[in-house]
Amino acid sequence: MQNKLIVVSAPSGAGKTSIVRHLLENIPELSFSISATTRAKREMETDGKDYYFITVPDFQQRIADGDFLEWQEVYAGQYYGSLKSEVDRLGNEGKVVIFDVDVLGGINIKKYYGERALSIFIQPPTVEDLKKRLVGRGTETPETLKKRIDKAEYELTFANQFDVILVNDILADAQQRACQLVNDFLCQK
């Protein structure tokens, strides 16, 4: 039987990474699919653990070589993608691959894997709450904040293309609900 996959997507700042980390800590059969990106590494991030940080020319060459399951130019010159080799490696180890990807990437993975994948859209309670979370990170300039909010408003229009919409109002509640959803999915035949 082919392995199942979990796809978690959300606008930036909605809490998807916190929820994915919680799932990884609480569901042992899950294994994180490390995405590749061309964006700058943040202070607390590690190459090969949080992301594979690669250059724009290298990323573009890998696109041309067909190395990605999905990829997006999320912002001008800023690419994200899921390497096929990463998914194959984890699947060959018998793991259930979990993706922490942008919204369009999540839709593409779900289309590719169909019923083998559970796609979860993490939604902030409001756009204003999302803005507060992004400001609270302390990593955004006024320009990047506007870019992220504009993109988030666009991405929210795709929520209904996911199997489940999970509103992240209280993080602990959203994490618990995500665990329940994933465990229920993994128990299905």
User: pLDDT truncated to tens, each residue of the chain (189 aa)?
Assistant: 478 999 999 988 888 999 999 999 999 999 999 989 999 999 899 999 889 999 999 999 999 999 999 998 877 889 999 998 998 889 899 999 999 888 988 999 999 899 999 999 999 988 888 888 777 777 778 888 888 888 889 999 999 999 999 999 999 999 999 999 999 999 987
Q: Which domain holds residue 44?
A: 5-187
| CATH number of the domain residue 50 falls in | 3.40.50.300
Tell me the angle at which helices 127-137 and 142-155 cross, rounded to the nearest 10 degrees: 140
Q: How many structural domains are present in the chain?
A: 1
Predicted structure pTM score: 0.84
* Kind and range of the H or E run holding 36: strand 35-37
